[in-house]
Structure formats: structure tokens, C-alpha cells
Structure 1
């Protein structure tokens, strides 16, 4: 039985988490390029933030060596990043079983999306069997804070929005009920934050990520991809 899983790994030692914490309004997607030596390069796609704050965050990050802006389309920028640390230096203090982490790369699974957020990584992956997923989730439950957002069987139909976290759904529902999306707008971001008992910046981040998820699940699938 093939499975599709969406989950969060809360671990501040993961690559580029410091960058995401420095520019929390940005959406940061990470791809690993394995054809350049022992440590893969990072291909990083950033939206919802201008170049200068991202450039400073990359330059100041302890786990980033050299970086290059490869291209731009609208407010989307793509960077190539050379890691400054080995796997052991990056994760050794946080994860005791580095051999187990390397073994996950050989599991019957494909991680197709990695989003870096200020506390860790949000991932979407395909798993050939439940045992393959159980091995993956068990490792991260033992070594970090692992939270499963969605687990479905291959081919199972779903309504748009099922990929939203509980906090994102709550933020969208609260914003809608207070009139934040009305024209004219009847509720400010600060009012939504007060209702959710969080900061305005956290409310903004939840709404942005929720809206990005809904766009990705609906209209974005009909757009042509960005040029490489």
C-alpha cells in the first residue's frame, strides 16, 4: 500500500532553519542536488521576501558557505547554496544515530517537497509501504519532534485544503469570520492575532502559508513551471 504523507520535523539544527527564522515571512523551499561531491548542494527557492534580507540571512547563517543567486521570476528567486558543514557537524549534537539518518536516504520513499520554516522542516513524501513510512517517522520521533499533518493512500481523492495544519485552518476560519477578507476589510491582522492569542507576525505567517497551500492545491497546478 503506497502512502502520501505530509509532516513537520521540529529541529533547529536542520539546514537553513536559521535562515528561515531570520526571514519568517518568506516561503523557503529546499532541494538537494546530489551530484556535487559528498555533501549535496542546496537549491533554494524563496518567495514573499525581497532579495536583500534573504542575502543577509544567507551570508550570516552558520551553516551556509558560498551562495549564488541563480535566477528570478517575479517575487520568486532561486539560489544555489554550498553547505558550510558536514552532516556530522550540522546534526551531530542533535542526532545521535547519524548512520540511521543516512539509511533513510535508501528507504523506499521519495521526499518531493521540503519547506524550511523557523523551527524545522515541513515535508511531503511518497512511501512505498507502511513499513517504510513507519521507519521514517520512528527515526524522527526518537531524534526530534515529529508531527504528522496528513497520511493518505495513493490515489485517494481529497478535498482541497486537506493539507492545511490545524493552526492554519483555525487562522483562515477566524480571519474569514471576523471579516478580514471582506471588501472593505472589517478586521485587521492585529484583531485576528488577538483572537488567536498569538503575535501579529505569527498570524500573518499562518495566513500566508495557508493561502499558499490552497493556491498550490487548486489554481497553481494549472500554471506552467518557472523557467530553470
Structure 2
């Protein structure tokens, strides 16, 4: 039983708040946090094609005292960030109420927490903690946890944008209503970038929606 909630949080002193505001086109995902030598260390993923701008912004963020890129993948970089703020995205006390966090991602100028809550008391405790600290607390969605939790895919903002534009422009129709060149002109990017973003986005959706019981060898 219980509920699954998507909650939007915003405050100038939440971790990486300034970075989220200044780099709104880059999606950040909070991975986990630990404390060592009285320092709060967070591991955060940044989903983008280039990382120079995001690293400059992170370095200038008043809630960040140190950062280091620890891993780089095709369209994702992982940073170890030393956080310099008293506010937490999800307070420790929420664990006492049984709140379990699925994901914490940046969106709409703040953080969006997707979590399972065993009852309304857990949601109330989270809201009151935020209210006492003037953290904006908005429930975007709230539904029964008996609903299947299959939404585990993750698209960057740019991937979501290009899929949406391509779909409504007729790119996936037969025959196609628009070419990659036209999409490239509309987005002011190269034809190669259009192809890469479409393939990555489609691959992410396929990974999340196809049956996991099937292995590539079965289709060889």
C-alpha cells in the first residue's frame, strides 16, 4: 500500500540551486549523499553533451565549496560535490517515516523528488519540514503505489525536446513528414547531433519498455 509522490522543491539555499537556475537546459540528478570529516558530499549526475559551462557554474555556485568530475560517459558526467548549505533536499528525518526516494532530478527551477511514502503522515512530515524552512513544496503527482512502477527511463531535457518536436513534425510517420536536416535547422544544431540525440533517446525508451527476459542472443 502507500503512495508514490512527485514533489517539487525550491529554495535559493537548496544544494545546487544557483546551478539549476543558470543551467536550466542541463538536467541534474542527485545520486546520493554522505558525510565525512564534517563535510557533506553529494554525487550528482549531469546529463548533457558538453560540460564546460556546467562546471563553471558549479564552481561559482554558493552552495558548493568543492567539486570533482569522477566519471564521464556518452551523455552523462558524475560529479563529487562538497555542499556548503544547511538545507537538505530530502531531510534525514523523513527516513523515520519510511519515505523511500526513487529519484531526485532538477526541473522547473528546483528539485523534483519522486518517492514512495507509506502513508499521509510521511507526506505531512516532509511538507512541514519544508514549510518551517521556507522551502517551496508542491506536489505534482500523488497516486496509489499499487499502480505499476514501470517509469524508470530517464530522458535529458534535450532528448525530450527533440523527440517531441520530431513526433509532432511527422518524423516518425510513413512517409516522413520532416527530414533530419529540417529538424537540425529548427533546433540550430548539426544533422549529426540530431541523429545522435534521437538514437540515444529512443534507446533509453526501448531499454525501459522492452521485456527484460529477452536477451540479444535470442534475436541474433
What TM-score comes out, normalization by structure 1 length? 0.63
Q: Does 1:156 align with 2:155?
A: no
Structure-1 residue corresponding to 2:194 = none
Structure-1 residue corresponding to 2:58 = 58
Alignment CA distance shift 1:29-1:175 (3 Å): same
Question: Could you tell me whether the CA contact under 8 Å between 1:109 and 1:127 is conserved in 2?
Answer: yes
Structure-2 residue corresponding to 1:146 = 137
Unpaired stretches in structure 1, ≥5 consecutive residues: 92-100, 164-168, 192-207, 223-228
Question: Could you tell me whether the CA contact under 8 Å between 1:17 and 1:118 is conserved in 2?
Answer: no
User: How far off its partner does 1:189 sit?
Assistant: 10
For 2:206 and 2:24, locate their aligned partners in 1 and report how far apart those are by CA, in whole Å: 20
User: How far off its partner does 1:112 sit?
Assistant: 2.6
Structure-2 residue corresponding to 1:104 = 94
Question: Could you tell me whether the CA contact under 8 Å between 1:12 and 1:119 is conserved in 2?
Answer: no
Unpaired stretches in structure 2, ≥5 consecutive residues: 155-159, 187-197, 214-220
The correspondence of residues 154-193 of structure 1 with structure 2, limited to 5 A, is 154-157=145-148, 176-177=167-168, 179=170, 183-185=176-178
Higher mean C-alpha deviation, range 152-161 or range 12-21: 152-161
User: How far off its partner does 1:105 sit?
Assistant: 4.8
User: How far off its partner does 1:39 sit?
Assistant: 4.3
- Secondary structure of the corresponding residue to residue 97 of structure 2: coil
Alignment CA distance shift 1:24-1:34 (3 Å): same
Question: Could you tell me whether the CA contact under 8 Å between 2:32 and 2:42 is conserved in 1?
Answer: yes
Q: Over residues 126-180 of structure 1, what are the superposed CA-to-partner deviations in whole Å (9 max), with x where a residue is unaligned?
A: 112221122223443563332222222223237869x9xxxxx9xx889855657
Higher mean C-alpha deviation, range 101-110 or range 148-157: 101-110
- Secondary structure of the corresponding residue to residue 24 of structure 2: coil
Q: Over residues 13-58 of structure 1, what are the superposed CA-to-partner deviations in whole Å (9 max), with x where a residue is unaligned?
A: 2110211222221110013322424443110101124121121111
Q: How many residues were matched structurally?
A: 190
In our comparison, the structure showing a higher alpha carbon Rg is 2
For 1:160 and 1:78, locate their aligned partners in 2 and report how far apart those are by CA, in whole Å: 22
For 1:114 and 1:215, locate their aligned partners in 2 and report how far apart those are by CA, in whole Å: 22
- Secondary structure of the corresponding residue to residue 87 of structure 1: coil
- Secondary structure of the corresponding residue to residue 116 of structure 2: strand
- Secondary structure of the corresponding residue to residue 96 of structure 2: coil
What TM-score comes out, normalization by structure 2 length? 0.65
Question: Could you tell me whether the CA contact under 8 Å between 1:25 and 1:49 is conserved in 2?
Answer: no
